[in-house]
Amino acid sequence: MNNAVLFDLDGTLLDTAPDFIIAVNQLRRDHGLENLSDETITVQVSNGSAVLTQLALNITPEDPSFATARQQLLDYYLA
């Protein structure tokens, strides 16, 4: 018999939206941009950090600065 515990952390058990709102808006401020509304960010949280990075800076994954920006977003989220 196998035993396992699975967690779905996209808001089902933990509300991570407030932390991502802070992270996205900090990244925007770093780039001289104004904050996005909480609602604008919250509806994208379950789509992952790549989508949040695109939302924050209006850049695509092909942009040379994308990987660095995504890492900055994750660093802010984990802080």
Among this protein's residues, is 75 annotated catalytic? no
Catalytic entry in 8, 30, 63, 75 = 8
Rounded distance between C-alpha atoms, residue 74 and residue 50, angstroms: 10
Catalytic entry in 10, 19, 30, 63 = 10
Among this protein's residues, is 10 annotated catalytic? yes
Distances (CA, A) of 26 to 7, 9, 13, 43: 28, 22, 25, 18
Rounded distance between C-alpha atoms, residue 9 and residue 30, angstroms: 27
What SS3 state is found at 43? coil
**Which residues form the catalytic set?**
8, 10
